[in-house]
Structure formats: structure tokens, C-alpha cells
Chain A
Amino acid sequence: MHRHYAALIAALVLGGCATPSQDLVVLLPDKEGKVGTVVVQGQKGKTVLNTAYASARTTSEGGVQRGTASQSEVKDVFGSALAAQPPRPISLPSISRAAATNLPSNRNRK
């Protein structure tokens, strides 16, 4: 009986070691709808994500599978992390050089 338990525990431990943790990476558009790039490098392959909601999953063999994540999947898996996002820093609109030269203080210098 004890031998069966020992074999089961050994199988679980070895099975756990043989299967690397699987990752899911999803690229999101920013607030303005722009999308950047994320390169996902697995143990035996890599993929480039550069479209909105493009996803990459690492496989148990170490490869990387490209796909597309649905918004509901994003909400299900990442809802708590997204809800904890800090507020974005406020960036003041940049003033163009032409607009800056038309400021009242600069007009007087002409």
C-alpha cells in the first residue's frame, strides 16, 4: 500500500518537474488606440506581438503559440490586475514653438 503511495507521489513530483509553467501574454492598445511591440521568447521559440489583443502562450514543450485573446478572456484572467492599475500620470499638452511665440509675454519682446 505504501509502495503505491510512494509511486504516486514520485509520479506527481516528476510530472510537475517535467511540465514548465505555462504563460499567457496579451498585448493591449493604449488609451489612444496605439499598439506597441512585445517579443515573447520561450525556451524553444519566439513570437512578436504587435497587434491589439495578439496573444502568446508558451507550451509544455517550450514553444510559443501565437493567437488572439478575446476581451472576455482578458477580463476573466486579468480582471483583478487591471482593476489595481494606478491612475495614469497627468501629462500637460505640449505647446508648439509657433504657439509659444504667440504667447503675450513673447509678443511683447518682438
Chain B
Amino acid sequence: MTLKNILMTIVAACCLWTSGCATVLTVAYPPVEETRKGDVRPGAQIGHHYVISEEKDGLLLQKEPLCAQEVQVINVKRKQLHGVIPAVIEIPFFGLGIADLVIAGTYTRATIEETDGGYVKGNQVLACGDLAFAPNEELILQFPVSLEVRRVTTDERGMIPMNVVQSFPGGESRFNVFVKLKEGPTFVRTFEKAPPRQW
């Protein structure tokens, strides 16, 4: 047997050993299918987010469209590493168990297949438009101490005149603002009367 043959035999043996349990088992097992989340995009409009602010001549109501979040689903097929324990046992005997694990590891990385699984509804909402004036919206002003409720409608600029919100029932210093919608009132915020100026 020539030296060349001996070397080739050694290399072949090495290849054989390194293609040990871990590699064979990893290749033999079918890939595992899993999903992961991809891009997030706004879906169908579900309502509005209302913002109310105090202006010089009254309260200004604005709204911005809200959309349901849609999340991309990505299907992933991946080989999982198997035969780790036999490969570890190989290490003290042949020293090639490590190479076996490395090769098995390359299979797990090389066999990732990703396909677009479409979009599904997420569990959050996203703003999906610009903030704009909210004209002709019915507001409910609730005074928490007296439980008095006032109803006002915003004008074409989304404004409520100051005189409507300046007269507080006795003992009140705050009111809660709700927008009346088809599906029921929605809370916007609480306003507090400015304390009297100290001189």
C-alpha cells in the first residue's frame, strides 16, 4: 500500500467518522415547521383616536384614524440538531465528535426555508392617517361631583365655545370629556378648571 493510499484511507475514515450519528440523524429527521412574525402594517380602519386641547376661544377636538394592526406571518422550515448525546460520547474515543456536531450544525443552518404566510390581525392598533378637525361630533361633559352631564356638538372647525365649558356647577373643578359614538361613548380626557389667580 503506497503512502498516497494510506493517506486517502485516513481521510476517508475521517470523513466517515465525522459523518457520525449527529450528522446522519440531523439529515434523516424531517424539518420542523414553525412561524415567526414579520412586517407590521396598518389594516382596516376601526375607529378614531380623539385628541382635545384647550385653545384661546374654546376647546378644539381633533381625530386621527386608527387601524387594526396586521402582522406578516412567515413560515419557517428548519432542520433541527439531533444526535448530540452520541456525538458528545464520541469525543473522548475518536476526537471527531466535535467535527460531527459542526457538520450537523451546518445542515441545520443550510436548510432554512422561509415562505410568506400572509398577514393576520395583530393585537394592537396603529394610527393610519393625519390628525384632522372633528366637526359635528357630539361630546358628553360629565361633572364627577354633581354627576351633571352636558351634551355639546362641535362646530365645523371642531371647536366647542369657551362659554359652554366655563360655567361649572357649584363645587366642581373638573369635567370628563367623552365623544358619543354609534357603539357608545369613548373617553377622551379630563379637564380641570384653572385655579383662581393669586394676587
Q: Do A and B bind each other?
A: no
Residues of A with Cβ closer than 8 Å to B?
A: none
Residues of B with Cβ closer than 8 Å to A?
A: none
